[in-house]
Amino acid sequence: MIGIVILNYNSWEDSKGCIESICKDRPGAPFRIYLVDNASPVRPSEAVMDYCKRQQVVLLEAKENRGYAAGNNIGIAEAMKDSCDAILISNSDVRFYPHSIDNMYQCLQQDPRIGIVGPKIHLPNGRTQRECMMMRTGMREKYMLRTRLHVLAPANNERYWGRQHDYERETFFVYAVLGCCFMIKGECAKEVMPFDEHTFLYEEELILGIRMAEKKWSTIYYPKSEILHKHEATTGGIGRNPFAYTCQVCSEIYYCRHYLQADKREILPLYGYRTLLYLCRCLWNPAFRRKWGEYVERTRKELG
């Protein structure tokens, strides 16, 4: 059975749309949908609740919002308890194309080495998102490929994101896929899950990639499975949402310290760069100005 975990936070209509896209073209394999509500202050309408009941959606409610990792872990634990042999992790702003879930499930069965499969991601503007991490993200990659310095190493940047591959038609092995939607084999989930709950938002893919490599599991990009991702419909993205930006910086510091064993001196220039970008956003976005104190407090606490 496929366990489909959808994380909800104040996005009930989006979650309903995601579930509708699943049920419109029901997977051939048995499946169960787990809708995890991350302590949303906004409650669902009767229409949403009635629809979920008709589709036999399992509603799981977190006692508090502790972020992407902790919320998804609630659904993953329930799916593993129900002996699901594959678990699909999906953001609420994802829409599934016909046969996309079946195709991911079948791909997992093709090779015992494959632990995770990621789909082709269509963006609202009609383009295909051509991004998978092709290698472990160390401190060198953090500085040279995850900042504006990537313009100095265009060839390395293209290799890091796998842009030498044909994202429209080519199936290929990657280090890590994007976290908005992927399917993981049950056996693999037992070894690499749960997510590290210290991160509230972001860096989950990088951490999962390291765990997959340590346990000798492979990750594959599979374009025969297709989704539409409305892309940061809930958070608004780090460019517009100071809370999301702060979470990204905190998660990055944590990743560098705990997974790359970087010391404070190695991290400080990167932190300085992120802080400079935050200050630049303060010039045109009053929300960033209002949250400056919170940014400083949380990130300095993470730095130690």
pLDDT in tens, 24-52: 989 999 999 999 999 999 999 999 999 99
Does residue 225 sit in the same domain as residue 246? no
Q: Examine residue 280 and state whether it is found in any structural domain, yes or no.
A: yes
Q: What is the rounded CA–CA span in Å between residue 93 and residue 102?
A: 20
Q: Is the pLDDT of residue 192 over 70?
A: yes
C-alpha distances out from residue 237 to 139, 232, 241, 255, Å:
24, 5, 6, 20
Last residue of a domain, one of 179, 197, 229: 229
Q: What dihedral angle (degrees, nearest 10) is formed by the CA atoms of 199, 203, 206, 207?
A: 0
Over residues 103-123, the mean pLDDT reads 97
Q: Is the pLDDT of residue 237 over 90?
A: no
* Cis amide prior to 98 (ω within 30 degrees): no
Does residue 199 sit in the same domain as residue 276? no
Reported as a pLDDT band with limits 50, 70 and 90, residue 238 is confident
Does residue 23 sit in the same domain as residue 66? yes
Dump pLDDT digits (tens) for 276-293.
Answer: 999 999 999 999 999 999
Q: Which domain holds residue 117?
A: 2-129+167-229
Over residues 222-245, the mean pLDDT reads 86
Q: What is the pLDDT of residue 107?
A: 97
**What value does the mean pLDDT of the chain take?**
96
Reported as a pLDDT band with limits 50, 70 and 90, residue 236 is low
Q: Examine residue 285 and state whether it is found in any structural domain, yes or no.
A: yes
Q: Examine residue 205 and state whether it is found in any structural domain, yes or no.
A: yes
Does residue 121 sit in the same domain as residue 22? yes
Q: Examine residue 235 and state whether it is found in any structural domain, yes or no.
A: no
Dump pLDDT digits (tens) for 137-188.
Answer: 999 999 999 999 999 999 999 999 999 999 999 999 999 999 999 999 999 9
Q: Is the pLDDT of residue 232 over 70?
A: no
Does residue 268 sit in the same domain as residue 198? no
Q: Examine residue 135 and state whether it is found in any structural domain, yes or no.
A: no
Q: What is the pLDDT of residue 118?
A: 98
Tokens (6 digits) for 162: 């796998």
Q: The CATH number of the domain where 83 resides is what?
A: 3.90.550.10
Contact partners, residue 27, CB within 8 Å, separation at least 6: 2, 101, 102, 105
Last residue of a domain, one of 229, 257, 280: 229
Considering its fold, how many domains does the chain have in total?
A: 2
Q: What is the pLDDT of residue 235?
A: 57
Q: Is the pLDDT of residue 231 over 80?
A: no
Using only C-alpha atoms, the chain has a radius of gyration, in whole angstroms, of: 19
Does residue 172 sit in the same domain as residue 253? no
Q: Examine residue 145 and state whether it is found in any structural domain, yes or no.
A: no
Q: What is the rounded CA–CA span in Å between residue 18 and residue 198?
A: 27
Q: What is the pLDDT of residue 60?
A: 98
Tokens (6 digits) for 192: 């690499």
Does residue 222 sit in the same domain as residue 292? no
Does residue 113 sit in the same domain as residue 29? yes
Does residue 57 sit in the same domain as residue 107? yes
Does residue 176 sit in the same domain as residue 122? yes
Give the number of other Cβ atoms within 10 Å of residue 223's Cβ.
Answer: 19
Does residue 10 sit in the same domain as residue 104? yes
Q: Examine residue 147 and state whether it is found in any structural domain, yes or no.
A: no
Q: Examine residue 148 and state whether it is found in any structural domain, yes or no.
A: no
Does residue 55 sit in the same domain as residue 183? yes
